[in-house]
Structure 1
Amino acid sequence: MKPRFEVADVLNYQHGQIEDLCANSWQARALYALAACRTAQLGGHIDRCDNPNCQALHMSYNSCRNRHCPKCQGHKREEWIRGREADLLNTAYFHVVFTLPQALNRLALYKPELLYALLFKTANSVIQSFAANHKFMGAKTGMIAILHTWGQNLSLHPHLHCIVPGGGMTAAGKWKPAKGNGKYLFPVKAMSKVFRARMMAALRKESHLQQPLAKKLVQTPWVVYCKQPFAGPQQVIEYMGRYTHKVAISNHRLSSVDLDSVSFTAKDYRKGGQEHVITLSHQEFIRRLSLHVLPKGFVRMRHYGILASSLKQKVRELVEQQIGKATIKERPPLKHRVCYTCGKGQLVTLITFDARGPPPLDLLVYLTPK
């Protein structure tokens, strides 16, 4: 169902002021792309259905393909899910979340690339250290980590969603499961303390941790959360698909947009996920949205250890020889461009056009089958 309101509506209301509401030109450029997505500004294409009983013509405007755009992630998510299912191991998987304390938000504003890179590096070092400990696993494990920077109210809330297999490879090439028989990974309280210590040490090394801030960070509890294992390997990918291509706010969360303000729904997880409505001025909404535009070229999803691209194929072959293949339910073929009229045929592009507009009507008539 198409949403009534879009993030682009708010951006277009303030189109001439976006630069003033962003911290840098890269953020403004991304938001302008979101505003132009699927409009005449980006040009478009005319497609015809290849179903002989339909052959309807459809005109569509081009997508911006920006990774922060709420309208451009659906197909990418489905492609990612299908591509990753082949990499699944026949073991339990755990969802681990590493969250930075609010005291580091100022650094996230001014040095996002540095802080987020350290977050990835430190989280991986914590996971690998606990995996190497014979009390818990005694092997090298892997991790898929995805950076999110937002909270439900669009405030700055940097955290990593990580998927960790419940086992690892020993130096001798043997698969070794975690001690909890797939029900338990590592102790989160101990992980939280190690995470805080290593992150602070990394920040000190980069000379970005002054004494007052260091004292505050020591007194603040750092949160590492580990959820119960997934029901099966395939559920892991389905679940991760929600996070890999998620953006700060979807169009479906917008409840109203008028000349001055925008309202959207948000869940309060401190109250059991209770939903409420937040209303912001256009300027404040855009300012908060801009906080979540990642630095140019920054990779927000990373693979580590035995799940890294250089190792995963070899590791999967070894694991399958020892504990078998993961059971994957076959999916129907993915259809990207299904005809909106008949719902059966595939759309074939006939003509593309730029921002000057589509071809004249007489050409469209000529293209229409007799």
Structure 2
Amino acid sequence: MSCHDHEVAHVLERNRGRLAYHCANSWQARTLHALRKCRTAALGGHIDLCDNPGCHKLHLSYNSCRNRHCPKCQGHKKEEWIRAREADLLNVPYFHVVFTLPCELNRLCLYEPKMVYNLLFRTAWDIIRDFGGNPKFLGARMGMIAILHTWGQNLSLHPHLHCIVPGGGIAETGKWKNTKGKGKYLFPVKAMSIVFRARFVAALRKELGESQPTSFYESLFKNQWVVYCKRPFFGPSQVVEYLGRYTHKIAISNHRIKGLEGGNVRFMVKDYRHGGKRSMLQLTDAEFIRRFSLHILPKGFTRIRHYGILSSYHKRTIVPKLQEVLGKPELADTAPLKHGKCPSCKKGNLVTIAVFPARGPPNGWREQIEKHINRPK
């Protein structure tokens, strides 16, 4: 059953015969069709029985598409990811750093998304690594978790990288070394911005060569590039929850959609340049689908990446040792993950007793199963 009155899937369903016309490639079209079918009979489903003797209610559920761009499939994945990352936390300050690409690169992002976004990841890590390795700023090996977002509030193309960076690193002595001001200051943002622009353009020129005119590269130096940095909230206990807001976020969530009248989509937007002021934006179905499609990542593209001492290779050995020395932060108590709890009694676990294909459950399925359950043993 739908949890929202209006959903992205509703827009896609009423335009099901024209989705391919709004996409740049077949991969985008396949993704939109997967989102359209999510938790509908088109994907089949299963029948679950509550194992609580005082309940024994039956529940019919349609299968999820499990696509990472789907508004209905991210909640549980987010919770699982958060719990896994809690084990990696250090009892040190953490910083939120954002690297943003200028709008002059938007056209290139449309035609070469994998190349541009890979350069963004690589350049951002090079800056954090090299600034951290410089004795003038820190002189230590650092780590980083980075998550790619490509959208603005109005669904326009706005590629940027959200990074969580521990406030310190491992010095040559092998001991932990905090950043300046006892971990209250990372690196100078203006210097990071200048280096970010210079390195990214140099890497882009190397990739594209003479395929782009000199005027294109010159246009990238006309304005300052944006690097944002602040210490997130009150300390490491909030870092993973804070990061969780970004990891499995998609271009637009269903709760922001307020109306689907007359072939248009009306949704809520925030203007962060004016203190997060809220307003309504209306787009035609065609324009909404076109903008949404801009944020479907290339097949197999990794949008969450770990670097340095937080990479999968190093954290198995380095992080446990650092936690022994620095300690692990105290985390707020969190409710356990709910895997298949009965929505009726809230006590029993749901046990799948039957599955059905895309054509849907057989007629009279409830009576047949209840008869089977209640038959004499």
Specify the TM-score bucket, using the shorter chain as the normaliser: over 0.9
Contact 2:90 2:326 survives alignment (8 Å) = no
Structure 2 unaligned segments of length 5 or more: list them: none
Equivalences for residues 1-370 of structure 1 within 5 A: 2-207=3-208, 209-361=212-364, 362-369=367-374
Contact 2:93 2:231 survives alignment (8 Å) = no
Give the residue type in structure 2 aligned to 1:114: M
Q: Take 1:247 and 1:363, find their aligned partners in 2: how far apart are those partners?
A: 41
Shift of residue 309 of structure 1? 0.5
Shift of residue 207 of structure 1? 1.7
Taking only aligned residues, the RMSD between alpha carbons, in angstroms, comes to 1.4
Shift of residue 344 of structure 1? 1.6
Q: Take 1:230 and 1:180, find their aligned partners in 2: how far apart are those partners?
A: 17
Contact 2:170 2:177 survives alignment (8 Å) = yes
Say which SS state the counterpart of residue 323 (structure 2) adopts.
helix
Shift of residue 368 of structure 1? 4.6
Shift of residue 346 of structure 1? 1.2
1:12-32: CA deviation from partner (whole Å, max 9, x where unpaired): 111000001100000000000
Q: Take 1:230 and 1:309, find their aligned partners in 2: how far apart are those partners?
A: 26
Q: Take 1:29 and 1:167, find their aligned partners in 2: how far apart are those partners?
A: 43
TM-score, with structure 2 as normaliser? 0.95
1:289-313: CA deviation from partner (whole Å, max 9, x where unpaired): 0000000000000000000001012
Q: Take 2:317 and 2:370, find their aligned partners in 1: how far apart are those partners?
A: 56
Say which SS state the counterpart of residue 337 (structure 1) adopts.
coil
Query: Which one is further off, 336-345 or 321-330?
Result: 321-330
Contact 1:255 1:264 survives alignment (8 Å) = yes
Contact 1:11 1:31 survives alignment (8 Å) = yes
* Identical aligned residues as a percent: 61
Say which SS state the counterpart of residue 146 (structure 2) adopts.
strand
Query: Which one is further off, 89-98 or 211-220?
Result: 211-220
The number of residue pairs the alignment matches comes to: 370
Give the residue type in structure 2 aligned to 1:292: H
TM-score, with structure 1 as normaliser? 0.97
Give the residue type in structure 1 aligned to 2:256: R
1:338-366: CA deviation from partner (whole Å, max 9, x where unpaired): 21211221111000110121133142332
| Structure 1 outlier segments of 4+, above 6 Å | none
Contact 1:55 1:369 survives alignment (8 Å) = no
Structure 2 CA distance for partners of 1:351 and 1:119, relative to 1, 3 Å: same
Contact 1:173 1:318 survives alignment (8 Å) = no
